[in-house]
Amino acid sequence: MSKKLVEAMADLEEDAVLAEVKALKAQNVPALDIIAYLQEGMSIVGKRFEEKEYFLSELIMSAEIFNEASQLLGGGMGGAGSSKYGTFVMGTIYDDIHDIGKNIVTTVMSSNGFNVIDLGVDVPTAKYVEAIKQYKPKVIGISCLLTTAFDNIKECIQTLEKEGLRKDIKILIGGGPVDEATCKYVGADHVCKNAQETVEYSKKYMGV
């Protein structure tokens, strides 16, 4: 556990974060472990924002530092792998523009051999419907960081059911505040806490 990296991320100490990421990388610490430390630091940023110790400017800064740090990891998270498994359609639900976690998951899924279709952020239900008809994915992912957007996921999944598109696909959800109760509430199949879990679940489901 790199307490130093978690704390530097939480305190928004950009230089210290980048130096620690470089040091961990030099020690061959796996990129996904480094991401997990950064993610933990980001949860502390979130808590401080909730407690009004941080404001929107700090949230924006945290996103910039996180993105810079993950660029240092670059190839470590895997580049575009050859797609030997099924298709995975991924997006952030409408009204939500958080995309750091979504981008990590799509990068890691792609480098693990899935054909990834990234629909971006603030994705309306119609775009999921269109993508499922066009790409026929086996698994779809919906990212959501805002509790106020949980009902949007529910609406999206209900629409997929009405359109007859739900039965052959598994729907994964993820993002900071999403948990088992959310999963049940919105009618998804599974909640994943990180990218590796998403890869493992998808491989298992697709019989890989």
User: Which residues would be at the binding site for ligand B12 (CB under 6 A)?
Assistant: 39, 42-43, 45-47, 49-50, 56, 59-60, 62-63, 95-102, 104-105, 141-143, 145-148, 172-177, 192-195, 198
Nearest to ligand B12 of 142, 168 (CB atom): 142
Work out how close the CB of 99 gets to ligand B12 at its nearest, in angstroms, rounded to a whole number.
4
Mode of pairing for the β-strands spanning 170-174 and 190-191 = parallel
Q: What is residue 13's three-state secondary structure?
A: coil
Nearer to ligand B12 (CB atom), residue 19 or residue 61: 61
Task: Tell the smallest beta-carbon distance from residue 118 to ligand B12 (Å).
Answer: 11
CA distance 53 to 19: 25
Is 56 or 80 the residue whose CB approaches ligand B12 more closely?
Answer: 56
**Strand pairing class (115-118; 170-174):** unpaired
Q: How far is the CB of 17 from ligand B12 (least distance, A)?
A: 13
d(CA 208, CA 205): 8
Pick the closer one to ligand B12 by CB: 159 or 196. Answer: 196
For ligand B12, the closer CB: 42 or 123: 42
Comparing CB distances to ligand B12, the nearer of 46 and 81 is 46
Report in angstroms how near the CB of residue 140 gets to ligand B12 at its nearest: 8
β-pairing verdict for 139-143 and 87-92: parallel
Strands 115-118 and 87-92: parallel
Closest distance of CB 201 from ligand B12, Å:
8
Burial 165-193 (b: 16+ CB within 10 A, else e): bbeebbbbbbbbebeeebbeebbbbbbbe
CB of residue 62 vs ligand B12: minimum separation in angstroms?
5
The SS3 of residue 96 is coil
Neighbour tally for 29: CB within 10 Å = 16
